[in-house]
Amino acid sequence: MAEYKGMAQPSRASDEDMRKIHIEPVPDEQKPEKAVEYLDYIRKQFRSFVMAMETCTKCGQCAENCHTYLGTRDPNNIPANRAELIRKIYRRYFTLEGRWFGSLVGAEDISLDLIETWYSYFYQCSQCRRCGHVCPFGIDTCEVTFIGRQLLHWLGITPKLHSDVGAAMERVGNHTNMPKPALADTLEFMCEEAYDEFGVEIEMPLDKPADILYVPSSADFLLNPYTLMCAGMFFHYIGASWTIPSAVTEAGNFGFLFDQYYTQRHNIMRLLNAAQELDTKKIVWGECGHGWRAAKMYIPTKADRPVRWDITHLHDEAAHLIRNGELKLDPNKNSRPVTLHDPCNYVRACGLNENMRTCIKASCSNFVEMEPYGYDNFCCGGGSGILFDDPDMYNKRIQLSWKKAEQVRETGVGKNGDGILCAPCSICKAQLYPMVEEHNLGVEVKGLIDLVGKALVWD
């Protein structure tokens, strides 16, 4: 592809210009110029991005703390080097030394080849934020990745998985295109399964006016049925007035992962409309890491109305009741050895570290911590929606999971082939299901509310 060398000064994009962006493929010959134009807009909006562009000293602290680099050993997957892919363009067009001295100061002209490189590496980063956790300057390279993905989306470059999920959310309110009749049938089936397996008669209401609006992951209707079934058992146990809204049967918000400006906000509006229509007092989030981060951090700022509902997480609700002695659990019901994978968005963004442990220690009799754990834990390798199933990317996903597999193996919970790897996030589950098989770890992947539900003591 021909290199673009045309712009010494980018054209200016106003807020109004950005609001008018109509997402469709930008012709290749226009992509370089548009990329710099959009980057100009971004740098004027976010001082933290400018700090990330101008502060890194390439100390290397982030390298051995990045599971992506540890799994691939690709130098471009070192977080500082990944950020450099966009920093050298920033330096070329927005700094005096870059405009004057070019490559002598590490600046580079924008080109289609470089934009293709952005796509490759910004979608190998799982946005786990561990690099920001160890950076001596506090640079959050995850934010650089977010911005890179947003720029790519504005150029019309988005992975099919992400764009399909975004479109499905707009159509039916979940990632899997399940219409309301299918949702209702699945919930009825789960009630029957709960009775057959646990001897408990429950209801799983859909679109019923209720105090609690529960937002599950749509994957719980298909891949993680015990997570949704046990959430229903939990609400039944505590006597809650609760419902699932058919308009939003998805705790995840893929807009957070590629399009902060429209797709994420659309999902938030859909949720608040459902809460209002169903006369809700509280919104409780299901097991999805990035979805909970998007809800907790962005609903108040992206909503088109005052947010009058309490918004909390299922694990927070369960931990509160456990500490108050209101949830009777028998940990011997979960006697198999179990270890906990800490979803990155929970522990490094949402403060769920201790509440997850309150739940798992009360529900399991043989709990073994990973090392490191909690805030220091490593990503599963599938975060931020890196769940592409084409052969090349599938193999890449297994590479990215190398560090997590090593952590699980070192706990010893799978040495007899009967261990449990607790993964309290739907994207983590989707990554870990094949990972435990490929790495032969001898563990079964389960959600956290799965374990709580099984441990409930019924009078």
Alpha-carbon distance of 388 to 159, in angstroms, equals: 9
SS3 content of the chain, % helix, strand, coil (to 5): 55, 5, 35
Structure tokens at 326: 């209101």
Ramachandran quadrant class, 91 (left: phi over 0; alpha: psi -120 to 50; beta: rest): alpha
Q: Please report the pLDDT score of residue 16 as a whole number.
A: 58
Residue 25: which pLDDT band, with cuts at 50, 70 and 90?
A: confident
CATH number attached to the domain at 15-157: 1.10.1060
Residues of the chain with pLDDT > 70, as a percent, come to: 95
Integer Cα distance of 118 and 250 in angstroms: 29
3-class DSSP state of 364: coil
What are the DSSP E strand ranges found in 260-377? Answer: 282-285, 310-313, 338-340, 367-368
Distance from C-alpha of 248 to C-alpha of 241, rounded to nearest angstrom: 18
Q: What is the pLDDT of residue 5?
A: 39
The pLDDT of residue 8: 41
Whether 121 contacts 79, CB under 8 Å: no
**398-410 pLDDT, tens per residue?**
999 999 999 999 9
Element (H, E) at 228: helix 225-237
Please give the backbone phi and psi of residue 263, each rounded to the nearest 5 degrees, phi first: -60, -45
Spacing of C-alpha 71 from chain mean position: 20
CATH 1.10.1060 residue ranges in the chain? 15-157
> How many percent of the chain have pLDDT more than 90?
90
Residues 368-395 have pLDDT tens digits of 999 999 999 999 999 999 998 888 889 9
Chain mean position to CA 255 = 10
What's this model's pTM, rounded to 2 decimal places?
0.93
Residue pLDDT, tens place only, 163-196: 999 999 999 999 999 999 999 999 999 999 999 9
User: Do β-strands 310-313 and 367-368 pair in parallel, antiparallel, or remain unpaired?
Assistant: unpaired
Per-position DSSP letters for 243-280, written without gaps between them: EB-TT---S--THHHH-TTTHHHHHHHHHHHHHHHTT-
pLDDT value at residue 459: 84
- Which 8-state DSSP code applies to residue 206? B
Instruction: Express each pLDDT in 327-351 by its tens digit.
Output: 999 999 999 999 999 999 999 999 9
Identify any residues that bridge with 443 across adjacent strands, giving them in sequence order.
Answer: 419
Q: Residue 21: its pLDDT value, please? A: 63
Interval 127-140: pLDDT, tens: 999 999 999 999 98
Which amino acid is residue 359, in one-letter code? C
- Would strands 338-340 and 367-368 be described as parallel, antiparallel, or unpaired? parallel
Strand partners, 213: 243, 283
Q: What are phi and psi of 90, to 5 degrees?
A: -55, -45
pLDDT in tens, 212-236: 999 999 999 999 999 999 999 999 9
- The SS3 assignment for 443 reads strand
368 bridge partner residues: 339
As a whole number of angstroms, the distance between CA 228 and CA 363 comes to 17
43 within 8 A of 53, measured Cβ to Cβ = yes
- Rounded to whole angstroms, the Cα distance separating 229 from 202 reads 9
Q: Which residue from 171, 197, 202 is spatially nearest to 187, judged by alpha carbons?
A: 202
Per-position DSSP letters for 371-387, written without gaps between them: SS-GGGPPP-S-GGG--
Mean pLDDT of 36-49: 94
Q: Alpha helices, DSSP H only, in 79-159? A: 79-94, 96-101, 112-122, 130-134, 141-154
